[in-house]
């Protein structure tokens, strides 16, 4: 079992889901792949399908349109899967709180389908890549306790 | 019997380890090309280990038998071809008649199984991927076989008999000159390298799994152990294809002296890194561009090389 969690910690594959972000957080997420930060050093890569993902990187406010799709995405990932809520919007919908087109917050949306989901929060508008790497490290630490 | 099973196991496991190490070489070279640091050497092994521990999901609309069986059959096919190829390279005299033809068929199976698995997954992205994979297979298979025929013609014995035995092919090349030493040989090797690129599903020929366009295409619904099997199949194929090219075109492994192993490693690594470099310096092509490229450009080149080789063999001109 210890071997499996060790392997999981060393090879986190990330699926990036935009649930109505302004694209700023997305640019910062892509920055992690650039030479300056190069997250592949830790075995993390972006994958194209949620079925391959170990981390669901969610950006955006989670609009009413995006809400059921985000839930479906989370259900499609192979467990164990960590959710990374990136940016102020994904945390508590930022300046768009109580707007007419809002769904539930990202964490509430995901907890509605899986109460035991592992959710990490990365505050910032947009958060710096260092903050995201910090969240990834915390996720790795957390996975040790699984 | 026991010896055969042992050979098979050694070849399959050895090629798997080699293939995963080569996956790391690929990722590391890619990272260096992009001015990054890249993953540690054990990364591909960790990926496989992790995937075996993940949940295995099957979509409700999938046909379970085909979906779950396809990666197993693909892995089995590529494992059998590792045994045949390594055996032929290391002990050329014990290879059986026509092993080259068997190899060509066996190496086609992983692509067929990818199509089967994608088509049974019930996912529209996978269906698009499967259709592209099929067209890709139809595109590269003909020039690939023609290029291999060039090598067979160039290594025909003095009495003009063609051999389809890998062992004879390498023995003749080691006794005289490699098949690549000549105009037709160089053309054939170039065609074969591009066909290898397509067979390995690497950029610019990765439209079947275009990850930002159709979400990993043929592999979109695979997760956990099934995905691990697919990655292992691809890693082993990545180790096998350069080996096949070295054996067919570049006089294989000369076991008579110590420098034989050294030159073999050099030729092999050159082809492996070439795949990575082509992958890093090209954008993905559309499927219609690929079919046009293989049928209207590479097939005529391969046919021309074949004609040159036949003329050269008939007139006794070795550089042709």
At B20, the pLDDT band (50, 70, 90 cuts) reads: very high
Task: Summarize the confidence of residues B72-94 as an average pLDDT.
Answer: 87
B60 close contact with A: CB closer than 8 A = no
B162 close contact with A: CB closer than 8 A = no
Q: What is the pLDDT of residues A98-121, one digit of tens each?
A: 888 888 888 889 988 888 888 888
d(CA B269, CA B22): 9
**Contact call for residues A61 and A21 (beta carbons, < 8 A):** yes
pLDDT at B159: 62
**Contact call for residues B234 and B130 (beta carbons, < 8 A):** no
Average pLDDT, chain A: 87
Instruction: Give the number of other Cβ atoms within 10 Å of residue A55's Cβ.
Output: 23
The closest alpha carbon to A96, from A19, A13, A44, belongs to A19
pLDDT at B21: 92
B286 close contact with A: CB closer than 8 A = no
Complex ipTM value:
0.85
Residue B112: phi, psi to the nearest 5? -60, -40
Indicate whether B78 pLDDT > 70. Answer: yes
The closest alpha carbon to A77, from B60, B46, B57, belongs to B57
C-beta atoms of A7 and B219 within 8 A: no
pLDDT at B310: 86
CA dihedral B41, A11, B197, B138 (to 10 degrees): 150
CB pairs under 8 A between A and B: 82
Chain B residues in contact with A78 (beta carbon < 8 A): 54-57, 223-224
Helices (H), A32-113: 66-76, 88-92, 106-113
Lowest mean pLDDT among A88-97, A123-132, B230-239, B251-260: B251-260
d(CA B118, CA B109): 14
**Does B249 sit behind a cis peptide bond, omega within 30 degrees of 0 on the bond before it?**
no
pLDDT at A101: 86
Q: E strand or H helix at A56, and its extent?
A: strand A55-59
Q: Among A8, A48, A78, whose Cβ lies nearest the Cβ of B215?
A: A48
Q: Which of residues 218-257 of B touch A (CB under 8 A)?
A: 219-224, 227
Eight-state DSSP code of residue B54: S
Q: What is the pLDDT of residues A16-45, one digit of tens each?
A: 999 888 888 888 888 888 888 888 888 888
Indicate whether B110 pLDDT > 80. Answer: yes
Task: Summarize the confidence of residues A48-56 as an average pLDDT.
Answer: 88
**Does A126 sit behind a cis peptide bond, omega within 30 degrees of 0 on the bond before it?**
yes
- The alpha carbon of residue A75 is apart from the nearest alpha carbon of chain B, in Å, by 10
d(CA B302, CA B185): 10
d(CA B267, CA B279): 19
In 3-state terms, what secondary structure has residue B243? helix
Furthest-apart CA atoms within chain A: distance in Å: 47
**Contact call for residues B244 and B199 (beta carbons, < 8 A):** no
In 3-state terms, what secondary structure has residue B53? coil
B264 close contact with A: CB closer than 8 A = no
CA A103 to chain centre: 17
Q: Among A38, A48, A52, whose Cβ lies nearest the Cβ of B227?
A: A52
d(CA B23, CA B41): 9
d(CA B206, CA A6): 31
Task: Summarize the confidence of residues B208-234 as an average pLDDT.
Answer: 84
Q: What is the pLDDT of residues B168-200, one digit of tens each?
A: 888 788 878 788 888 888 999 999 999 999 998
Sorted by where each starts, the structural domains of chain A and their CATH numbers stand as 2-144 (3.40.50.12280)
Q: What is the pLDDT of residues B51-69, one digit of tens each?
A: 888 888 888 887 778 888 8
pLDDT at B300: 94
């Amino acid at each position: 079992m210890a071997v499996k969690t060790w392997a999981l910690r060393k090879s986190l594959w990330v699926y990036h889901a935009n649930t109505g972000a302004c694209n700023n957080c997305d640019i910062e997420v892509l920055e992690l792949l650039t030479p300056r930060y190069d997250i592949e050093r830790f075995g993390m890569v972006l994958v194209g399908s949620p079925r391959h993902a170990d981390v669901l990187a969610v950006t955006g406010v989670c609009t009413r349109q995006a809400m059921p799709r985000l839930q479906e995405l989370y259900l499609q990932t192979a467990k164990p899967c960590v959710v990374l809520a990136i940016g102020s919007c994904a945390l508590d919908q930022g300046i768009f709180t109580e707007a007419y087109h809002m769904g539930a917050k990202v964490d509430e949306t995901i907890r509605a389908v899986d109460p035991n989901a592992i959710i990490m929060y990365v505050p910032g508008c947009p958060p710096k890549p260092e903050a995201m790497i910090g969240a990834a490290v915390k996720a790795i630490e957390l996975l040790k306790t699984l | 019997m026991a010896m055969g099973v042992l050979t098979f196991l050694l070849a399959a496991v050895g090629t798997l380890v080699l293939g995963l190490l080569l996956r790391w070489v690929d990722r590391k070279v890619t990272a260096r090309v992009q001015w990054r640091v890249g993953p540690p050497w054990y990364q591909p092994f960790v990926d496989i280990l992790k995937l075996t521990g993940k949940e295995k999901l099957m979509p409700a609309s999938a046909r379970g038998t085909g979906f779950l069986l396809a990666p197993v059959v693909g892995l089995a096919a590529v494992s059998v071809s590792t045994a045949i190829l390594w055996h032929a390279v290391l002990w050329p005299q014990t290879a059986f008649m026509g092993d080259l033809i068997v190899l060509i068929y066996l190496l086609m199976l992983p692509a067929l199984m990818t199509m089967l698995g994608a088509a049974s997954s019930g996912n529209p992205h996978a269906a698009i991927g499967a259709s592209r994979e099929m067209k890709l297979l139809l595109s590269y298979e003909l020039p690939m076989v023609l290029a291999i025929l060039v090598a067979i013609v160039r290594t025909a014995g003095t009495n003009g008999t063609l051999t389809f035995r890998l062992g004879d092919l390498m023995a003749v090349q080691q006794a005289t000159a490699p098949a690549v030493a000549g105009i037709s040989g160089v053309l054939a090797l170039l065609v074969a390298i591009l066909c290898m690129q397509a067979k390995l599903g690497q950029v610019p020929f990765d439209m079947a799994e275009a990850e930002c366009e159709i979400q990993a295409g043929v592999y979109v619904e695979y997760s956990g152990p099934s995905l691990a099997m697919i990655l292992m199949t691809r890693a082993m194929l990545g180790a096998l294809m350069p080996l096949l090219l070295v054996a067919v075109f570049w006089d294989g492994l000369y076991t008579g002296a110590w420098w034989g192993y050294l030159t073999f490693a050099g030729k092999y690594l050159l082809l492996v890194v070439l795949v990575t470099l082509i992958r890093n310096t090209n954008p993905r092509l559309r499927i219609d561009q690929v079919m046009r490229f293989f049928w209207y450009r590479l097939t005529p080149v391969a046919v021309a090389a074949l004609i040159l080789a036949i003329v050269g063999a008939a007139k006794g001109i070795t550089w042709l």
